[in-house]
Amino acid sequence: MNPLPYFLDHIWLIPLFPLAGAALMLLFGRRLPNRAVSVICVGSVLVSFIYSIGAFAQLLQRAPTDRVVQRVLFQWITPGPVQTVGGLKGFLAEWGLMLDPLSAVMILVVTGVGFLIHFYSIGYMGHEGGYYRFFGYMNLFMFSMLTLVLANNMLLMFVGWEGVGLCSYLLIGFYFLRKSAADAGKKAFIVNRVGDSGFLLGIFLTMTTLGTITFTSAGRLDAPAITGIREALAAGFASGQFVSGAPALTAIALLLFVGATGKSAQIPLYTWLPDAMEGPTPVSALIHAATMVTAGVYMVARTNAIYQLAPLALEVVAIIGALTAIYAASMGLLQNDIKRVLAYSTISQLGYMFLACGVGAYIAGIFHLMTHAFFKALLFLGAGSVIHALSGEQDLRKMGGLWSKIPTTARTFLIAALALCGVFPLAGFFSKDEILWQAYSSELGRNLAGIFWVIGALTAGMTAFYMFRLVFLTFFGKSRVPHDVEHHIHESPRSMTVPLILLAVLSVVGGFVGIPAALGSFFGVSHYFERFLEPVIAQYAPHAAEATAAAAVAHHDPMEYLLMLVSLATAGVGIWLAYTMYLKRTELPAQLEARFPRLYRIIYNKYYMDQVYDALFVNRARDLGAALGGFDSKVIDGMGVDGSAWLTRLTSRISIWYDTWIVDGLVNLSARIVWIFSFPVRMLQGGRISGYALFIVLGILIFLGYYLKELRAMIR
């Protein structure tokens, strides 16, 4: 086999550069000036981005069927044969990286958007304490996410998965002296551990069912010595060993999705993400746009070979995604914290992505993941610029009239808001339209009478409303900024505005790589993004050709044009309502609140779900902890440890009494008896020589007397 081009052969360097930056910061950063910290950490991500571009370009030069490259660095875990459904199989986990169209898109998003966020952080965090620590954690975050998306097997993906979880804890709780930040970091960490347990069980079940955890055997430089998940499922499906809806495959898919719901903040494990706003704004941008929360969507798309044979699991994914989309959108309607509005927007848009994956439109989900990264990063960084201008203020009720005072921030923020609302021809329009169309035209969507499309369209309208409520309250109308802050308002420095401008450009043009077939005639190209990612999606004969043909026909359905217009009209209605309520008739919100106070309180308090979770889980966990603590102190310590100590003391006292009165008593009694009977002997032993001589003479005389008596008797 011909040697790989340089960048493809060195894809392992892409995550290594941020890791090196993190290591330098965490080991020596305290001694370095801020300028050196910026150069090292931002530069490492820039180099990683350059290598990602190089690898992507060289991947494009290969044939579509040959766009899989794997680099195995070393054999990581080799415990030996493992009992599987198919018998004993050799288990092997490699430290190997894989670049294919899916991971290529992800590394470009992660490194590209990540670099802009790092660059932005130079200005935003310039006056904060722990500068080196912040950038060290950010670089470690980048390394973990790149490891996750480049991993060629589930176990290495799990390493990156846990890495981003750890880094999120460190970054969300960056202001650890503030209790709310520390609590938010702990909450994110604990909630994600719940989801991660499902992911880990899914990995174990995959191994015991398929005999492998490697995604594919394609693209290896050596002879494929390992069977991949994709190949094992294809062979099993062809032979009849694995059928669609097999319980084992359904269980694997559901367990993996549990992990995805935690990492990507879906019902019921979404509550950590709004609280994550306690971290610095660049952290929020990185978590919401380029890393972590997108991991769940990526994992479902990466394991699409399993999900395609688990239709029940796909339905669950679609239902959870749709419910999360509209549920989170409703919670964003009345929030007053600028970052929390964006947080609920992220949860809602992630629901869109899972809805796409659930109806089998994995590419549409990844497409929206990419475009969402552009405008959501822009929204968070724009929000950070607003907060920076207002000396830390995040309450929308204390903003207003900022359009002319921070024009670059305002204009780029408006572009991002329009993109998020799916306004033509911005990036969000193309990806949102693709998801809505797939939700309508897919087999699952048709079976459910278009309910997914209805939910998606309503969510789009609600998104437009709360985003432009945010825009109008922040940049338009009368200023509500406190007087002591207003005269200090100024535009952010170039280190912060340049990333805003670049992300605004991407938010405008980023969607043109995925122009739908219905609009292809107007632009001369259609669905380039879909064609690029098609080889990543598993195909199971004999249904693959039929599904491909059906999709091609569907994209020429005139109904798609109508649905486009409806979604645009829905977004327009949302924008108009926001304009009416927050610019034209500003008394309406108060009137509606007075008329529907209960509904207002329910939505404003996020359906009291935090309180419900506290009552059902947090407080019950505390009660369980208290009960276990009582059991430990009273039973384990009281009866076990303390009881054992008491019993030991008792037995020792008995032993001492026995030793003193029985053992020692017998010894002393024997001594006393000996002492008594030895008295005559002791009387004889006075220590005087004359006494001893007398006894000797007497003894001799007695002996002679006895001898003479016997001698006389013998003579007779």
Can you tell me the mean pLDDT for 338-351? 94
Can you tell me the mean pLDDT for 190-202? 93
User: Residue 146: what pLDDT?
Assistant: 97
User: Residue 74: what pLDDT?
Assistant: 86
pLDDT score of 481 more than 70: yes
* Per-residue confidence band for 127, with pLDDT thresholds at 50, 70 and 90: confident
Can you tell me the mean pLDDT for 113-117? 96
* Per-residue confidence band for 549, with pLDDT thresholds at 50, 70 and 90: very low
User: Residue 544: what pLDDT?
Assistant: 46
Residue 400 CA to its chain's centroid (Å):
35
User: Residue 240: what pLDDT?
Assistant: 82
pLDDT score of 213 more than 50: yes
3-state secondary structure 281-334: HHHHHHHHHHCHHHHHHHHHHHCHHHHCCCHHHHHHHHHHHHHHHHHHHHHCCC
- Give the separation between CA 494 and CA 505, rounded to whole angstroms: 16
pLDDT score of 420 more than 90: yes
The DSSP bridge partners found for residue 87 are 84
User: Residue 135: what pLDDT?
Assistant: 96
Can you tell me the mean pLDDT for 304-329? 94
- Give the separation between CA 590 and CA 242, rounded to whole angstroms: 59
What's the pTM? 0.86
- Give the separation between CA 149 and CA 145, rounded to whole angstroms: 6
Can you tell me the mean pLDDT for 179-195? 91
Q: Supply the mean pLDDT for the chain.
A: 87
Q: What is the pLDDT of residues 232-245, one digit of tens each?
A: 888 888 888 888 88
User: Residue 581: what pLDDT?
Assistant: 94
pLDDT score of 129 more than 70: yes
Of residues 510, 508, 268, the one with CA closest to residue 368: 510
pLDDT score of 300 more than 70: yes
